[in-house]
Chains A and B, each alone.
Chain A
Amino acid sequence: MSTPYAKLPGWVEYGLIPLINLAVAFLVAGLVVLLVGENPFEAAYHLINGAFGRGEYIGFTLYYATTFIFTGLAVAVAFHAGLFNIGGEGQAYVGGIGVALACLWLDQVMPWYVVFPLAIVGSVFFGALWAFLPGWLQAKRGSHIVITTIMFNFIASSLMVYLLTRVLKPLGSMAPQTRTFAEGGQLPKLDWLLSIFGLNVGTAPFNISFLLALAAAFGVWVLIWRTKLGYEMRTMGNSPSAARYAGIRESRITVITMMISGGLAGMMALNPIMGEQFRMQLDFVQGAGFVGIAVALMGRSHPGGIIPAAILFGVLYQGGAEIAFEMPSISRDMIVIIQGLVILFAGALENMFRPAITRAFAMRGQRAAAVVQTKGA
């Protein structure tokens, strides 16, 4: 389908339009705050203060952002190939198995820098595995990827309840979780990174997987814009028929893209499991897979946009906790609303303000042209 919209300058396309969409989402969220009978400006103050007010808060913000970079990249990679991977939640969840297995196996005998690479491999492997099946089913059997990945989210959640209540739970324990890892299963904090800026990370679980997330973002950029595979993925995403005529093997690209996407989602598990809780608990993903959708939409599926978008959601999560603490009538569910509004305005309604903006630019362009003409005369 051809886009019925005129081309706009890059900074409008990638800067102004997302910002306007975001502003509208926050405006509506402000209305919800009013409806609850609270002051939206006070809420905004607590949000910003709770996210940046102290070194510890910044540490939490970046800890959440780390998670969202992984899941955002996962959704974005699939987007480029025209696939909507809505299963990041399940892939991240199953990816946790890989992390937990590596940690449970070696945490007592090896230092973290030996366990960590293995855990990365494990998380990528299990995440990719969980995305492989939907990808393969779409490529070979024509099942709709959105529906299969939704189904796989639910299957993953049942599977994990089973594993954590029956298989991975230590004997004699009641809680559905693995045992706590020894030192080898715990990632070092990035306190030195914050202390460069004179900040104290405090109890925040901001850890080394943040650097891995940045590396993954760079890797995705290289993959999508600097490799043959990435070119084929984008071609398929832009025009499946063109890709077919060009001899690109669609089913192969679909499966590979989904596995990369699932692998990235799986890596998300490293952050909470090895970086914060030091054990695998039930429900550790906590919707991060879905946040990835909002992050990818906000960041226009570009790593350069995904990182700030992920930080924005980190701010929402950390600042939202602070709002919930300071203003008891606004619980953390406010974040879920904002998230939904961002998905609505930045995703489904992304073109709502485009005609007006295009018109404004066309008018400016005409005026500029007129000025040139009068000068020339």
Chain B
Amino acid sequence: MDFFHVLVVLLESTIRVSVPLVFAALAGLFTERAGVFDIGLEGKMLGAAFAAGAVAAVTQSVWMGLLAAILISILLSLVHGYASITQRGNQIVSGVAINFIVAGSTVILGEAWFRQGGRTPALAEGARFQTINLPGADAIREVPVLGPIYADLLSGHFLLTYLAFAMVPASWWILYRTRFGLRLRAVGENPGAVDTAGISVIWLRYRAVICCGILCGFAGAYLSLAMTAGFVKGMTAGKGYIALAALIFAKWRPKNVMFACLLFGFLDALAIRLQGTPLPLVGQVPVQLMQALPYILTVILLAGFIGKAIPPKAGGVPYVKER
């Protein structure tokens, strides 16, 4: 029973840390499927987390915070879109630039506005998300096996957590079952064909970039309004890059994205859990190895040793109309 309890706790924290990854990786899924590479996920998430924390602190409203997060994130996405779609600039360079601008601005503005060393004030109860108890969770808790799974693992999460996991089938549906999704995927594979069909490549890509902005907004808001009560400088701490790794690991498919994020989240949770405890057979695993594992796995995957990750064909290439 003890092992079971540990497992439930571990999986519960896996879900908790996976949420921003799921949002951000789905965000990347939309733009990259449309042919715009985005390594600025980190920056967008950080910008959104800051906007959420700052606005929620000022307005004392969690919804205003969420709205601000989404708006800022869309704005940053549009900058990326303008640079890489309209100006046909280098998408990687643009993403790097956004990460830098946000990393610096959140600290400077946070310090100037709140004077708490780059943090936003701690949020009171109404200004952040509260956990939701699913119906009957308390009643069923004492039931063996099923009880803890339902009451501790599935119940007691934030609204955004449920939204994140609901977004997985929703994204699948949008991408594979709607006309917009079909065109969006086409524009990432062969923009020329889409253009010939009389559909605007530019407008489609902008819409994909906006979808990315919305989802990154949720990811950021989750960090500062749900996971913690307020913004702390640099709080994304590489999650944007892990999401990027998860996206590649998932070979740009929605369902795989969820599992990749859960896997990386699990490794993260496990690393914290295992700190200082020796494992049977292998002895004590350095925490650093556990932390590097998602990146190492991604490199191995990219090298084609565990299946091949083939990115959308037109990814990273700005579209130039035949003249």
Contacts and interface: CB of A to CB of B under 8 A. Distances in A.
Interface string A267-279: 0000000000000
Nearest to A340: B100
A341 B91 CA distance: 15
B111 interface: yes
A293 B95 CA distance: 12
B281 interface: no
A141 interface: yes
A37 B111 CA distance: 12
B299 to A, nearest CB: 5
Contacts of B303: 137, 141, 143
Nearest to A163: B288
Contact of A349 (B89, B96, B107, B118): B89
B291 A348 contact: no
A344 interface: yes
A320 to B, nearest CB: 10
B182 interface: no
A336 B100 contact: yes
A269 to B, nearest CB: 20
B104 A348 contact: no
Contacts of B245: 147, 151
Given A333-B104, A336-B104, A348 B94 contact: yes
Contact of B320 (A4, A142, A335): A4
B21 to A, nearest CB: 15
Nearest to B89: A348
Interface string A327-345: 0011101111111110110
B109 interface: yes
Contacts of B298: 147, 151
B295 A155 contact: yes
A154 B295 contact: yes
Interface in A207-247: none
Contacts of B170: none
Contacts of B98: 340, 344
A190 interface: no
A223 to B, nearest CB: 23
B242 to A, nearest CB: 9
Contact of B286 (A144, A152, A166): A166
A343 B108 contact: no
A356 B96 CA distance: 26
A226 to B, nearest CB: 27
Contacts of A361: none
Contact of A333 (B90, B97, B108): B108
B269 to A, nearest CB: 17
A341 B98 CA distance: 8
A105 interface: no
Given A333-B108, A344-B101, A347-B93, A144 B289 contact: no
Max count, chain A CB within 10 A of own CB: residue among B94, B97, B111, B286: B97
13 contacts: A32-B108, A37-B112, A141-B303, A144-B302, A146-B39, A150-B39, A155-B295, A155-B296, A159-B292, A330-B108, A331-B118, A337-B108, A347-B89
Q: 4 smallest A-B Cβ distances: which pairs?
A: A340-B100, A336-B104, A337-B104, A348-B94
